[in-house]
Amino acid sequence: MNTALKPQPGIMEIALYKGGASHLDGVSNVLKLSSNENPLGPSDAAKEAAIRASHSLHLYPSTDHAALRQAIAGVWDVDPARVFCGVGSGEVLKLLSEAYAGPGDEVVFTEHGFSMYPIYARACGATPVVVPENERVVDVDAILGACTDKTRLVFIANPANPTGTMIGEAQVARLAEGLPLQALLVLDGAYAEFVDGFDAGKALVEASENVVMSRTFSKIYGLGGMRVGWGYGPQAVIDVLNRIRGPFNLSAPALAAAEAAVRDTAHTEKCRIENAKWRDWLANALAELGVPSDTSTANFILARFADEAEANACDEHLRGAGIIVRKVAGYGLPHCLRITVGDESGCRRVAHAVAQFKGVA
């Protein structure tokens, strides 16, 4: 082993990200509810667009993502020049970290925040700063109290993953106003479309110089396999991101599918309504079994058990029933299981399995 070859400081402190499991040995009819995927899948228009794009796979894709940016701008009423497209919202967050944080800087996020935030921080040599939440809800005062002259980025997911909770627009605005001048507030809106009438921070971005929001096509649009996301922010920030991204970071099929998906607002609304219906049903069904959860604004619920042992036992029971959910001990919630909201049959299957586990079915 060549001991002279060393990665940059901070990289070897990164714990590998673990995605949701998708297979169970010996089980064919697996119900995967571990990755917050849309059970309705992408719209027919998005699938057809991807197929059409496959006829031109010998050609390089667009470098400026103009068609997709225009589609996003038309649907969400934003300035296309201030839209940045990336390989999932993850690339947007990663490039923001690379552009604005480095050795000696601090990146702030909350204790139950998305587990990639500390990875992005350490990868660019910055120091992750973890802030406590208040009963699984982002605490603006705690974040402001943790900020120093070294703070460069503050990440919050709203709605949050894996808790499903969110804070109101006034609280987010207070956070943006209270940050140090050199800090950028990043609003991770991966689940924003599941909230009826929510702009995910668009108005705040347009009224501020220190706020960026990110979105993804992996959740409500059902394009997790395509890896497309976007960000919206001050023109100066977008110009910086465009200087460091790869020129062909998004494939032609991904661009085509995402453009068709965002324009198919009828499918998006159908997915939002179906998710809300079965999210509430599942939360109520589990609550009646003695498994509470906070009111979720996303496409999953965070089921709370008496302790870690009961959560692990229920997870094993669900796996025995062919159901995969997400253990979230790594998010500081060892007594919880995150359960994606499936379709009607999936939700009923989960409720029945938990009832069996509780001995009431």
| Alpha carbon separation from 255 to 20, 62, 72, 167, 335 (Å, rounded) | 25, 8, 12, 32, 40
Q: Phi then psi for 285, rounded to 5 degrees?
A: -65, -40
- Provide the residue type at 255 as one letter: L
- The answer, as to whether pTM is greater than 0.85, is yes
Whole-number pLDDT of residue 238: 97
Q: Does residue 156 contact residue 109 with C-beta atoms inside 8 Å?
A: yes
The pLDDT tens digits along the chain (361 residues) read 666 777 777 777 777 766 666 666 666 788 999 999 999 999 999 999 999 999 999 999 999 999 999 999 999 999 999 999 999 999 999 999 999 999 999 999 999 999 999 999 999 999 999 999 999 999 999 999 999 999 999 999 999 999 999 999 999 999 999 999 999 999 999 999 999 999 999 999 999 999 999 999 999 999 999 999 999 999 999 999 999 999 999 999 999 999 999 999 999 999 999 999 999 999 999 999 999 999 999 999 999 999 999 999 999 999 999 999 999 999 999 999 999 999 999 999 999 999 999 988 6
Could you tell me the two tokens for 357? Answer: 């586990």
**How many whole angstroms separate alpha carbon 110 and alpha carbon 295?**
19
Residue 19: per-residue pLDDT: 65
